[in-house]
Amino acid sequence: MVYVTMACIQILYVALNSLRMVLMIKGKKYVASFLSMIEIFVYIMGLAIVLNNLESILGVIVYSASYGIGILIGMYVEQKIALGYIALQVISDHDQELYNQLREKGYGVTTWMGQGVAGSRTVSIILARRKQYDDLTSTIQSIDPRAFMISYEPSAFVGGFWKKRR
């Protein structure tokens, strides 16, 4: 029973640690600070159990394995809450049809012409919430399966389409 408790505490600690790091990176300082208090409490409780059970190789294995499981759970939780925004740069031949449909869905789309090896292409930048990423990319791929997309997370933005909608 002690190993199950140790594993659960370690998984919770590492998942909280992963989530706190994401919140810090996203600038959610008060939530991250509050979460860190819970995280360190869980850590101290778990450490006490681990230090009392280090003589057993099973304790070390459980502690190590639960650390990895905690990382996976932390990543899963972060992907589910999907804080922040995604910027998607798209290069496509289906300019009007694609961008009209995206605008109808409420996405802000800025386009310009680019020159590639095979001729002119429309280049666009689209800003969306991270939770909308799957919908955005599937919409693009349903219209233009050959669209070239590059995504990244902007750290800051000022004005424009998003400023008006807030």
Q: What is the pLDDT of residues 101-148, one digit of tens each?
A: 898 888 889 899 998 888 888 899 998 888 899 999 999 999 999 999
The torsion angles phi and psi of 114, rounded to 5 degrees, stand at: -130, 165
Last residue of a domain, one of 20, 46, 81: 81
How many domains is the chain partitioned into structurally?
2
Residue 138: in which H helix or E strand, if any?
helix 133-143
Boundary (domain end) residue, out of 81, 113, 143: 81
Assess whether 91 and 105 both reside in one domain: yes
> Are residue 74 and residue 26 in the same domain, yes or no?
yes
- When pLDDT is cut at 50, 70 and 90, the band that residue 76 belongs to is confident
Same domain? For 102 and 157 the reply is: yes
Same-domain status, 7 and 75: yes
Domain boundary among 81, 104, 135: 81
Residue pair 108/83 in contact by the 8 Å Cβ criterion = no
Residues 100, 156: one domain? yes
Question: Is 108 in the same domain as 42?
Answer: no
CB 142 within 8 A of CB 98: no
Q: Are residues 125 and 61 in the same domain?
A: no
* 92 and 77 housed in the same domain: no
Q: Are residues 98 and 26 in the same domain?
A: no
Supply the range of the domain harboring residue 93.
Answer: 85-165
Residue type, 84: G
pLDDT score at 116: 82
Record the tokens describing residue 122, joined without a space: 């429309």
The answer to whether 63 and 99 have CB atoms below 8 angstroms apart is: no
pTM higher than 0.85? no
Rg, C-alpha atoms of the chain = 22
